[in-house]
Chain A
Amino acid sequence: SAVISQKPSRDICQRGTSLTIQCQVDSQVTMMFWYRQQPGQSLTLIATANQGSEATYESGFVIDKFPISRPNLTFSTLTVSNMSPEDSSIYLCSVGLAGNNEQFFGPGTRLTVL
C-alpha cells in the first residue's frame, strides 16, 4: 500500500486568491492523480501527473486554472488559481503502485472559498 499525506487539510480562502495543495507519498510512484469532490457529489478526475512530463488534463479542466507540478516521484502540488466560490470542494491526491491494480487516496484538502 501507499501512505499519502496532503497539506493543508483544510483552508478557507478569499475569492480571487490562489491555494497550492501538496501531496507527499511514502514511496516512489510513476503516476499521481488529482481529483475533485464537490459538495454532495462524486469524484471527478482533474488531471494525471507524471514525473518529468506535463500533466494531462481532463475535459473541463485547464492548466491555467489548475497548474500542477511533479518535481519527483514522491511529491506533487496542485494549485487552484483565481478562486471563486464554485471551487469549494475536497481535492484529493491519488497514486497507483507498479504491479498493483489499486489506486490509493490521500485524506483530501477541504477548500472553502468565500
Chain B
Amino acid sequence: GDSVTQMEGPVTLSEEAFLTINCTYTATGYPSLFWYVQYPGEGLQLLLKATKADDKGSNKGFEATYRKETTSFHLEKGSVQVSDSAVYFCALRRGSGNTGKLIFGQGTTLQVKP
C-alpha cells in the first residue's frame, strides 16, 4: 500500500543553518505531495504542496521538489530560525481534488537553537 517515510528526528540545528528533512514515498500513479507543520501547542498547518512531477512547492522560505524518479519530496530551507522549531510531516494523497485520504509520514521534530 501507499506509504511515506521521513528521516528520523529530532533534528537540532543552530539558527541560520541549512535544513534538509528527507521524505520518500511509495505509491502507484501520481500522488499529490504535501508538507504539514505542527508548531508547539498548535494544530496542523499546510506548509507547501506539489501536485505533479518536477513541481516545486515553496512557502516561508521552505522548498520541496516533487522528484518522481527518486520518489522523494525533501524539505529544505536555507537559513532556519528559532521560530521554525516544530514537527514537520510529509504526506501524500492519491487522486485529484481533495477526496482522497492523506497518508502521513512519522513526523520529524526540528529544534533550532539561538
B-binding residues in A (CB < 8 A): 31, 33, 41-45, 48, 58, 92, 94, 96-108
Contact = CB atoms under 8 A, between A and B. Distances in A.
Contacts of A94: 102
Contacts of A31: 98-99
Given A97-B98, A101-B98, A103-B93, 12 more contacts: A42-B106, A42-B107, A43-B44, A45-B101, A45-B102, A48-B101, A58-B101, A94-B102, A100-B98, A101-B32, A101-B51, A105-B36
A107 B44 CA distance: 7
Contacts of A96: 97-99
Interface centre among A41, A96, A107 (most CB of B within 10 A): A96
Given A31-B99, A96-B97, A101-B49, A42 B105 contact: yes
B42 interface: yes
Contacts of A104: 46
29 contacts: A31-B98, A33-B102, A41-B107, A42-B89, A42-B107, A43-B44, A43-B89, A43-B102, A45-B103, A48-B101, A58-B101, A92-B43, A94-B102, A96-B97, A96-B98, A96-B99, A97-B98, A98-B97, A101-B97, A101-B98, A102-B49, A103-B46, A103-B102, A104-B46, A105-B44, A105-B45, A107-B42, A107-B43, A108-B43
A9 B45 CA distance: 17
Interface in B13-72: 32, 36, 42-46, 49, 51
